[in-house]
Amino acid sequence: MQLKTIKFLQSEADWRRCPPPALPEFAFIGRSNVGKSSLINMLANHKSLAKISSKPGKTRTINHFLVNNAWYLVDLPGYGYAVVSKTMRAKWESMIRDYLNFRTNLQIVFVLIDSRLEPQQKDIDFINTLGELGLPFALIFTKADKLSATATHQNIMQFRQKLLETWEELPAHFITSAVTAKGREELLNYIEQIINQSNTEINRNQNEEN
């Protein structure tokens, strides 16, 4: 898929105020500093579309972007950010959980994982929450330019191994770098595939109704 246009629409703290769920939607989430803003800018071919903030945990809203006038890209606030009060954290958690639970057009959640690190419990916990909610997800291993391909691969294998402790099947995964744009095409093509499938399903349902 070519990314022709991307437009920032709105930031909301409540899923009810998000744009009408009329287009397929793809959400990106991960621990703060995982490289989420950089990845979104890399996908968009834009230097500062999603603000690359030096203050972790600054984005506390659900941020909608419209891509190719055809789908929504959603930048969700990072989880596992330590330096906030319990009340603040509980607030974000319920905001994200409600969004994940009630957003009917959500196709898949992309969970970003820092490819430099060993499996982190916070990532595993979040993935298990997605499992409880029954939401499809895929993994994006970020910052792949930082380590050698072998070391990156080892961390990914470890992560997948860890997931196999609780999951029977492993999700799709992508290896990306905001610096080299590695993984950009694969990720956009994957999104395109899902959009095409969801369109087919809508057509099928409409034909059955007629």
Residues near Mg ion (CB under 5 A)? 37
CA trace torsion 43, 151, 119, 83 (10° rounding): -60
Tell me which of ligand GDP, Mg ion, none is bound by residue 1, counting a contact when its beta carbon lies within the kind-specific cut-off of 5 to 8 angstroms: none
Tell me which of ligand GDP, Mg ion, none is bound by residue 142, counting a contact when its beta carbon lies within the kind-specific cut-off of 5 to 8 angstroms: ligand GDP
Residues that bind ligand GDP (CB under 6 A): 30, 32-38, 52-53, 56, 78, 142-143, 145-146, 177-179
- Cβ-based nearer residue to ligand GDP, 18 or 49: 49
Q: Order across the sheet with 25-30: list the strands.
A: 6-12, 62-67, 71-75, 25-30, 106-114, 137-142, 173-175
Tell me which of Mg ion, ligand GDP, none is bound by residue 107, counting a contact when its beta carbon lies within the kind-specific cut-off of 5 to 8 angstroms: none
Q: How far is the CB of 120 from Mg ion (least distance, A)?
A: 17
- Cβ-based nearer residue to ligand GDP, 24 or 141: 141
**Residues 75 and 37: beta-carbon distance below 8 Å:** yes
Tell me which of Mg ion, ligand GDP, none is bound by residue 9, counting a contact when its beta carbon lies within the kind-specific cut-off of 5 to 8 angstroms: none
- Cβ-based nearer residue to ligand GDP, 37 or 152: 37
- Cβ-based nearer residue to ligand GDP, 103 or 184: 184
Tell me which of ligand GDP, Mg ion, none is bound by residue 177, counting a contact when its beta carbon lies within the kind-specific cut-off of 5 to 8 angstroms: ligand GDP
- Cβ-based nearer residue to ligand GDP, 11 or 105: 11
Tell me which of Mg ion, ligand GDP, none is bound by residue 63, counting a contact when its beta carbon lies within the kind-specific cut-off of 5 to 8 angstroms: none
Task: Give the Cα separation of 50 and 44 in Å (integer).
Answer: 9
Q: Which of 200, 207, 199, 136 is nearest to 172 (CA)?
A: 136
Any idea which residue has 């596992």 for tokens? 80
Q: How far is the CB of 201 from Mg ion (least distance, A)?
A: 32
Q: How far is the CB of 163 from ligand GDP (least distance, A)?
A: 21
- Cβ-based nearer residue to Mg ion, 111 or 163: 111
**Residues 128 and 99: beta-carbon distance below 8 Å:** no
Strands 71-75 and 62-67, sheet pairing: antiparallel
Contacts of 57 by beta carbon, 8 Å cutoff, 6+ apart: 32, 77, 78, 81, 83, 84
Any idea which residue has 């246009």 for tokens? 5
Any idea which residue has 């499992």 for tokens? 131
